[in-house]
């Protein structure tokens, strides 16, 4: 069986949208989901626990060298970049922030691109910087599917717009379309 992955990246205005989408899931999603959001390490919250209780599937912070399992939603830990190894496990990295961000969406997207190739799907949400655009482009180059939240829909359009400027997306989706897309993965 081929391993698949769904990556969700967002920053200002994107975090809440991603959370709402996840919370609205009525059935567990088969393929693993990785969420990369910029959050302050100081408030590195227990959102994973809260979601895990509310949902029918496992939600957790990604651990170093943990094997990526189906049916699980992983969050990138605050303060570290989240990388994906060719053997489908995570590695953490504390190198310099990228686009002022650690975790950086670019870093995880770029690292997933070659591992999952055409089995990688990624969505870039609202945000106030340029993180994620290069990574999305890399996923596209490796044959993965790339989507951005419609900048018109986004609280802060800078992030999805910078991906569109690179033509990194296969499709621009409204929030409703993103929900539909994710639900058809369940």
Partner 1 sequence: MVELSTKVAVMITFEELEGIIDVVKNLHGYDVSGYTRSSLKRRVTRIMELNKLDLVELKSKLINQPGFITYFLQEITVNVTEMFRDPEFYKAVKTDVFPYLATYPHIKLWSAGCSTGEEVYSLAILLKEAGLYQRAFIYGTDINTKVLEKAKRGIYSLIKVKEYSENFIKTDPKSSLSEYYTAMYNAATINNSLKQNILFTQHSLVSDQAFNEFQMITCRNVLIYFDTNLQEKVLDLFYDSLCHLGFLCLGSKESLVNYKNAGKFKVVNKKHNIYQKIG
Strands (E), 23-177: 33-37, 58-61, 72-75, 81-84, 90-93, 120-124, 145-149, 171-173
Query: Closest CB to partner 1 among 20 and 67?
Result: 67
Considering beta carbons, is residue 38 or 130 the nearer one to partner 1?
Answer: 130
CA-nearest of 17, 14, 61, 33 to 121 is: 33
The contact set with partner 1 (CB under 8 A) reads: 63-65, 77, 79-80, 83-86, 91-96, 107, 110-111, 113-114, 134, 137-138, 141-142, 166
Q: Is the peptide bond before 103 cis (omega within 30 degrees of 0)?
A: yes
Name the minimum Å distance from CB 161 to partner 1.
14
The residues pairing with 37 across neighbouring beta strands, listed in sequence order, are: 10
Least Å distance, CB 99 to partner 1, is 13
Nearer to partner 1, 47 or 137 (CB): 137
Partner residues linked to 3 by β-bridges: none
Task: Provide the annotated active-site residues.
Answer: 11, 38, 131
Q: How far is the CB of 106 from partner 1 (least distance, A)?
A: 10
């Amino acid at each position: 069986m081929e391993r698949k992955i769904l990556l969700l990246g967002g920053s200002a205005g994107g975090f809440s949208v991603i959370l709402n989408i996840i919370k609205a899931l009525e059935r567990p999603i088969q393929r693993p989901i990785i969420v990369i959001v910029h959050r302050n390490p100081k408030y590195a919250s227990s959102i994973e626990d809260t979601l895990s209780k509310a949902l029918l599937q496992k939600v957790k912070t990604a651990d170093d060298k943990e094997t990526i399992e189906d049916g699980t939603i992983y969050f990138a830990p605050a303060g570290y970049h989240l990388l994906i190894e060719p053997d489908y496990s995570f590695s953490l990295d504390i190198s310099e922030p990228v686009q002022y961000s650690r975790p950086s969406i670019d870093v995880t997207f770029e690292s997933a691109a070659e591992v999952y190739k055409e089995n990688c799907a990624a969505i870039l949400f609202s945000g106030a910087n340029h993180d994620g655009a290069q990574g999305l482009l890399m996923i596209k180059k490796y044959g993965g599917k790339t989507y951005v939240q419609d900048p018109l829909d986004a609280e802060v359009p800078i992030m999805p717009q910078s991906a569109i400027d690179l033509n990194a997306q296969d499709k621009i989706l409204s929030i409703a379309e993103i929900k539909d897309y994710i639900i058809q993965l369940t």
